[in-house]
Structure 1
Amino acid sequence: MPPRKQPSERQRRLGAELRKLRTSAGISGDQAAVLLDADRARISNIETGRLDVSRNRLYMLLREYGCPPGALFEGLMEMAQDSGKGWWDEFRGSVARRGLDLAELESRSNSIRVHDTLNIPGMLQTEEYARAMIAAIEGKHESLDQRVQFRTERQRILGGLQKYHVVIHESALRTRVGSTETMRRQLLRLIEVARLPHVRVQIFPFELGPYSPHARSFILFGGSAPELDTLYREYPTSADFIGDGPRITEYARMFERLASLALAPIDPAAAPEAQKARNSLSLLQHVLYELG
């Protein structure tokens, strides 16, 4: 089978982790090729995600690279076994590749931390809010219905996560997307989801002052092992999937800083009247009141 031209994010990440383990073990590409009874080009293609590696060969490489039994070992084995096929396959051709990669990444994550500055995160959007936002940014086109369906279908993994924590800037609550009723239903949806025991929603209010150091939205995906965590940053026409440990640590610290400054989250165990006087719920209710 010839090397693929466009490996998926999962395929690239598996190859990158194998390269990290090989270099940490002090094993050259030529030595790794001998282990697989292959040429150096095959190792290079495996490490760039352009070629798959069988479970048996991956098991042998991980043992030779000194990867101990545990979460990382099993996580890499699962990534190799995964076919990459899922519910998102039906959207190929109507959704950009980065969107498909994002859906696959979400499906294999245990926890998700989101920081959003201008919009309600896609995982929490109502269908009408998603439609209005996509139409406003990209215009109405023949694939709009499929794009909206894809965004709402992504929400199916929310219930299976161990933790979903989001810090949203107040500007996202006040940026009008669609009609007043669209915004009202969206904010009510946000409150509803925030009452789930594994969901934590916090609002970063205007009153805390300048926001420029944290102006970029990002998502941190928790994998089956810390080494498999992923940082995701999206741009108008592209996206970054980053598996670099120091960068992820940097953004994780930024997220914790934002969470420590933001208003207290909605307490799912407390009745509305028992919530703290000034918290994320009170601000959401205030914005709802202002909508009229």
Structure 2
Amino acid sequence: MNDEEMPRPVRLSSAHSRDLGEELRRARRRAKMPSSIAASGMEWSIGKLSKLETGSRGTDVLDIAALLGQYRTDKATREHILTIAAERDTGSFVRRHNRSPDTLAALRVHERIARTVTAYEPLTVPALAQTEDYALALTGDRAVAWTRMDRQQEQQSARRELVVYLHEAALRVRVGTPQIMRDQLLHLTLMGGWAGTRVRIVPLTSGFDAMLRNPATLLTFDAPARPVAYAEIDSVTVFHDDSDVVAAYQRKMDHLDRVALALGESRKVLARWVNAYEREAA
């Protein structure tokens, strides 16, 4: 078999390449340009553009600059995407945001294709389990609350497996009014009965646990895509698909599985706090 007959190796997408691809897809959609016209303008096949937007192939920064020129992107968007394109893919990257990471391309693209999502929060309810009123009270931003509801709708429509771990401290810390807390905990109770969804509580009686100080989310995908882990830290969110880092997140989730209450006991804890907030709201 000569070189021309040799099959090209399949390029596996990474968290970083999918992030870049999603940013490019968003830029094209904002320009209201069909993929066929965008590809023709670059003298590419539609397949090449599609693979670039899904992260399964790359191209050089000059090509990306030319593509963005076609889309007539604004300066801030252009600089943001070119910065991502110039980054070295190390298996970890940081994305800045304002009040929340809900609109980040890296977050939304991975949630959209995930097979399972496992989320843990020590002091608040995880975003994918929040009610709209709780999200508004927590963030003070109606747009963020609506975006969070969109994320949840996508999650429910895809029927992917969702595991929510939260510390009992998150039930104790009041966000908004007693009524908001009561409704939020009732919502968690209902979620626990949905197909493919588990809600488990880490009890206050478990004491201090160094492994559970910080929030974490772990997403898995159909093979051969590697798992992606991320954590929100104030005004940035850090994403990883490096195998060693992901393994550390997996150990954290395994630890949570051991220390969290079983589903039935978790429902009892939720019911106790619902009653407490019900009395306070009366």
The aligned residue for residue 231 of structure 2 is 233
Q: CA deviation at 1:105?
A: 1.7
Relative distance call for 1:53 and 1:174 in structure 2 (3 A) is farther
Aligned Cα RMSD in Å? 3.2
Q: Which position in structure 2 is the counterpart of 1:121?
A: 126
- How far did residue 209 of structure 1 move? 1.2
Residue 57 of structure 1 and its aligned partner are, at CA, apart by 10
Partner of 1:204: 202
SS of 1:225's partner is coil
Aligned twin of 2:243: 245
How far does the alpha carbon of each residue in 1:50-80 deviate from its partner, in whole angstroms, 9 at most, with x for none? xx99746999xxxxxxxxxxxxxxxx99544
Give the paired residue count: 203
1:103 paired residue number:
108
CA–CA distance in structure 2, aligned partners of residues 282 and 290 of structure 1: 12
Give 1:1-292 correspondences, 5 Å limit. 12-14=16-18, 55=47, 79-80=55-56, 99-101=103-105, 102-135=107-140, 144-159=141-156, 160-225=158-223, 227-266=225-264, 279-291=265-277, 292=279
**Unmatched runs of 5 consecutive residues or more in structure 2:** 1-12, 21-43, 58-76, 78-96
Tell me, yes or no, if the aligned pair for 2:15 and 2:241 is still in contact at 8 Å.
Answer: no
Normalising by the residue count of structure 1, what TM-score does the alignment of the two structures yield? 0.62
Q: In 2, distance between residues paired with 1:176 and 1:249?
A: 33
Write the distance in 2 (CA, Å) between the matches of 1:173 and 1:224.
Answer: 34
Contact residue 111 and residue 161 of structure 1 kept, 8 A: no
Give the 3-state SS of the residue equivalent to 2:222 in structure 1: coil
- Distance change in 2, residues 1:150/1:195 (3 Å): same
CA distance in 2, matches of 1:288, 1:96: 27
Per chain length, whose mean CA-contact separation is higher, i.e. which structure has more relative contact order (CA < 8 Å, sep 6+)?
2
| Letter aligned with residue 288 of structure 1 | V
Q: Secondary structure at the match of 2:103?
A: helix
Separation of aligned partners in 2, 1:236 and 1:94: 9
TM-score (norm 2): 0.64
CA shift at 1:212, angstroms?
2.8
